[in-house]
A and B are shown apart, each in its own frame.
Chain A
Amino acid sequence: GQQLNQSPQSMFIQEGEDVSMNCTSSSIFNTWLWYKQDPGEGPVLLIALYKAGELTSNGRLTAQFGITRKDSFLNISASIPSDVGIYFCAGQYYGGSQGNLIFGKGTKLSVKP
């Protein structure tokens, strides 16, 4: 089945640093999504990307939909302690027996004050 490779698996950074994570796939997706999940909670949508090449910002977060439609990255600028959590990328396609949303394994972000 389809799989997303998300990297890095974990990051331990200093407050104020910029963060970058990415997802790649061998398959093409129609939409790329980035979610953040806090312990014991469901994923919360951060950014949705709908078009190849699209670059979208949400506050300190910036994400891009790769031109090949097989990859996406998420950048967080000037990280703060509340950025701590697990970030998931998800590729969305239309139809198929696996269902339409395929998730990466997540990037666990730790921020040192």
Chain B
Amino acid sequence: KAGVTQTPRYLIKTRGQQVTLSCSPISGHRSVSWYQQTPGQGLQFLFEYFSETQRNKGNFPGRFSGRQFSNSRSEMNVSTLELGDSALYLCASSIRDNRDTQYFGPGTRLTVL
């Protein structure tokens, strides 16, 4: 069974731009969560989607948004990029909901110049 895939793997943007990251969960998994990983703050939860609905949200500004499609694939969007948004963005999928074990993708490395 294929694992969680994320595209693109690397991205370079400039301040003020916006970016969209994509995540395809493990086949049969319906819950997708997004995390931001930085050296200073570690791994921080962004939001979780299930059945095309955002079910949980972390403490990030409204510039960070996401959505989920009917095939469980998910996208994350960051608008008006800031230098501090440079991070590894990780997507994790689980079978049904946030009580199930989450499996991570390889991440998208975003660099904001």
Contact = CB atoms under 8 A, between A and B. Distances in A.
A98 B46 CA distance: 8
A42 B107 contact: yes
Contacts of A92: 98-99
Interface size class of B (residues with CB under 8 A): 20 to 34
B109 A40 contact: yes
Contacts of B90: 42-43
A97 B56 contact: yes
Contacts, number: 71
> What does DSSP make chain A's interface, helix, strand, loop or mixed?
loop
Given A43-B104, A106-B42, A30 B109 contact: no
- Point out which of A31, A33, A41, A101 has the most chain B C-beta atoms below 10 A from its C-beta: A101
B45 interface: yes
Interface string B85-113: 00000101000001101111111010000
A35 B43 CA distance: 12
Contact of B58 (A30, A42, A45, A98): A98
Contacts of A100: 33, 45, 48, 56, 98-99
Nearest to B98: A100
A65 interface: no
A41 B43 contact: no
B81 interface: no
Interface of B: 4, 6, 33, 35, 42-48, 56-59, 90, 92, 98-99, 101-107, 109
Closest 3 CB pairs of A and B: A99-B45, A42-B104, A100-B98
21 contacts: A1-B59, A35-B104, A40-B109, A42-B6, A42-B92, A42-B104, A43-B90, A43-B104, A44-B104, A45-B103, A45-B104, A95-B98, A96-B56, A97-B56, A97-B59, A98-B58, A99-B48, A100-B45, A100-B98, A101-B92, A102-B45
Interface of A: 1, 30-31, 33, 35, 40-45, 48, 88, 90, 92, 94-106
Given A30-B99, A41-B107, A99-B33, 11 more contacts: A42-B106, A45-B104, A92-B99, A94-B99, A97-B59, A100-B99, A101-B35, A101-B45, A101-B92, A101-B98, A106-B42
